[in-house]
Chains A and B, each alone.
Chain A
């Protein structure tokens, strides 16, 4: 080290042998130390001390004002007192903010004006422990093994290893469903609440949909009628948990387009009613509900990852990470002219899973 001037550099490298000759570039050392005004001028030092104390005192006052504001302003009564914001909101935020800010500024001021101002050099440690430490550790380990007598008592050693090994069995039992060819009941993933003749109803409202009243360009966010049980339709009340599951799986979007625009997949020619076509609302990528529908292009876009499906072309994926088209629900009309499902979806709705293709 070449610190030969008056700089108060502190070293903490006593345990490290420094081989100056081994360094390819000579250590240039530190620039000469310069002093702060507070180091050389007692008046400046006093002034900084008073400034810091004043900040801390102001922080205390501000914190007390926070408590005062908390008890003196009613939330809700005067919600637009200051620039469209509530008196309570503004005063609580400002007092707490000032208090925290002044504590922070005070500490920084203290560190920069009054705390010791000396450059410090700390040399890097070698990565390996010293040889004597390593020897001591190995000795302690061997001594421990000798004292425990594991090497001399094979019965104890073997049963202990066996006990730990058998712990693997619970893990295998718990995780066996992840293995290919497992016997997990996946039937409930493959089917939904839709059944032949079940009416389509408007989501939230629960009213059935007259096919004749739907115009070209209409988008209906719909649901199975069984989710809106009444005495009239006779569907049973669902349990709260089951209702959420069935709602998530049964959600659909219904659109009407010019029948000439529809390119029906083979076997699906009779799945639409005068250009009214219905798909699962659940994206086949990771299962977000989708209804960003563009009437002019017949595209529906998933807001999560921008998968885009062409509803005129069997909901083919035309962009994004989804791998499969949206499942289509075959439609028909009942004797009153309301839209009904011909059957359940003919494939599982929503995101993929291992056993999906085995149905």
Chain B
């Protein structure tokens, strides 16, 4: 401490000296120069790597996506009026690509009523490159950060509030198609709303943001990012909830429960009655005193 004080004292004594201004100027130049060397080239590298990523994404896009979505993502209409072989991706944004490719829905195995989730075709780096390419076509929703869809940073009370709020929002906006339990349900013309059990929070957030396939979107002007996070928290809480009463039969409500009761319950009773009536042992002997 004393050494520092003494040094400061000596410097202080020279602060109005003739060379002091020059020394400060030199020091300033040195610091700004070092800062520049430390950061500026890194930015240039970033830009270069982003351009590389878009270029890589374009290459992948031309090979795997352009057949349906067009070489520039402009979409390809089919002969059927109003229907498209592949919709335009202009303005779809990185979030849509991350959802569709990251869950394996795209590339589509065959066109039809449903784009089912399946094993992914691209690794994380390739998905990011494709997302960067589509995002470069026109501005669109970006891939969300973990802090957008996770309740990790909240206190215990805030989490409980988020789950309760999310439940109300879910029951108002999502239950119609995805079932009160998030188990999914049937949609017109052979499609279905997929089950939301075990789906990562990021993908639910992206699906809300971009409205994949026939699903309406819930953009940030519709449901705020916090409200989306609450819905995700509620879905997590459904999965964490213990099933006190035993088997949930898929949580599909009266359809699966009624089917089980009629086929397995009443069916086994009828079967047992038939079995009892048809199996009997008879003796070949006659009763002695009859």
Chain A positions within 8 Å of B, measured between CB atoms, are 6, 8, 34-37, 39-41, 75-76, 79-80, 84-86, 89-90, 93, 108, 112, 202-205, 209-210, 212-215, 217-221, 255, 290-297, 299, 301, 303, 308
Contact = CB atoms under 8 A, between A and B. Distances in A.
Nearest to B211: A217
Q: Is chain B's binding surface mostly helix, strand, loop or mixed?
A: loop
Contacts of B51: none
B222 A292 contact: no
Given A39-B283, A89-B246, A290-B176, A308 B188 contact: yes
Interface in B187-245: 187-188, 211, 213-223, 227, 242-245
9 contacts: A35-B285, A35-B286, A36-B281, A203-B172, A204-B172, A218-B222, A219-B222, A293-B216, A294-B188
A107 B284 CA distance: 25
Interface in B259-290: 276, 280-288, 290
Q: Most chain-A Cβ atoms within 10 A of its Cβ — which of B176, B284, B286? A: B176
A84 B243 contact: yes
Given A80-B242, A214-B219, 19 more contacts: A35-B282, A36-B280, A41-B283, A75-B244, A79-B242, A79-B244, A84-B243, A86-B242, A112-B280, A204-B168, A205-B227, A213-B221, A217-B217, A218-B218, A221-B172, A295-B216, A295-B217, A296-B213, A297-B188
Nearest to B276: A108
A75 B245 CA distance: 10
A218 B283 contact: no
A291 B222 contact: no
Contacts of B244: 75-76, 79, 86, 89
Contact of A40 (B173, B216, B286): B286
Contacts of A294: 187-188, 214, 216
B177 interface: yes
Given A35-B283, A214-B221, A204 B169 contact: yes
Interface residues of B, number: 37
A36 to B, nearest CB: 6
A48 to B, nearest CB: 11
Nearest to A83: B246
Interface of B: 168-169, 172-173, 176-177, 187-188, 211, 213-223, 227, 242-246, 276, 280-288, 290
A294 B48 CA distance: 41
Contact of A295 (B169, B215, B284, B288): B215
A108 B221 CA distance: 68
A34 B282 contact: yes
Contacts of A213: 219-222
A40 B283 CA distance: 8
A236 B108 CA distance: 53
B287 A292 contact: no
A133 B281 CA distance: 47
A35 B285 CA distance: 7
Nearest to A84: B243
B253 to A, nearest CB: 11
Contacts of B187: 292, 294, 301
Given A218-B216, A294-B187, A35 B173 contact: no
B268 to A, nearest CB: 12
A112 B278 CA distance: 11
B111 to A, nearest CB: 13
Nearest to B245: A89
Contacts of A218: 211, 216-219, 221-222
Contact of A37 (B218, B219, B276, B283): B283
A112 B280 CA distance: 8
Contacts of B286: 35, 40
